[in-house]
Structures are given as C-alpha cells and as structure tokens.
C-alpha cells in the first residue's frame, strides 16, 4: 500500500450494517508512502493507523494534494 498526503483512505465496514469510513491522510509516517498514516476523519477525529486488507487508498491528483 502506498499513499501520499492528501489521499483518502477508505475502510470498508466489516459486518452487516457497519458503514464504510473515509479519512484524509494528513501525514505519511512510513518510508516511501507506506503505513502507518496519520488520518483525519470527517468528524475531526485524528488517528494513527496501519490499514489492513479491508482498506483502500483513493489517490488524489498531485495538484489537489496538500503540502
């Protein structure tokens, strides 16, 4: 998994009725874009995570990324 600041991390719900969660990647802490990532969720909550197989990086265009 490789991500850049400004990309989004989509984590699929693991059980029936659990919604997907989307967070903005605000900092990449691993080498070469690898996890862990500092994330900001829609409610403003921040967390550091190493995403599992139920997560997908949604890349943004380079000009859309925050620097």
Domain presence at residue 58: yes
Measure the CA dihedral 37/49/8/41, to 10°.
-120
Domain presence at residue 3: no
Domain presence at residue 17: yes
pLDDT higher than threshold 60 for residue 67 = no
Give tens-digit pLDDT for 8-59: 999 987 778 878 899 999 999 999 999 999 999 999 999 999 998 899 999 9
pLDDT of 20 reads 87
Domain presence at residue 1: no
Domain presence at residue 44: yes
pTM for the model stands at: 0.81
**50: containing domain:** 8-62
CB neighbours (10 Å) of residue 3? 20
pLDDT higher than threshold 90 for residue 63 = no
Contact 5, 26 (CB under 8 A): yes
Counted domains in the chain: 1
pLDDT higher than threshold 90 for residue 64 = no
CA distances to 5, 35, 37, 56, 59 from 62, in Å: 10, 19, 18, 18, 9
List the structure tokens of 39: 């994330």
């Amino acid at each position: 998994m490789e991500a850049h600041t400004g990309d989004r991390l989509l984590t699929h719900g693991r059980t029936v009725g659990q919604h997907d969660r989307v967070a903005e990647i605000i900092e990449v802490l691993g080498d070469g874009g690898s996890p862990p990532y500092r994330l900001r969720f829609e409610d403003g909550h921040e967390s550091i995570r190493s995403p599992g197989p139920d997560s997908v990086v949604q890349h943004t265009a380079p000009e859309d990324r925050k620097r």
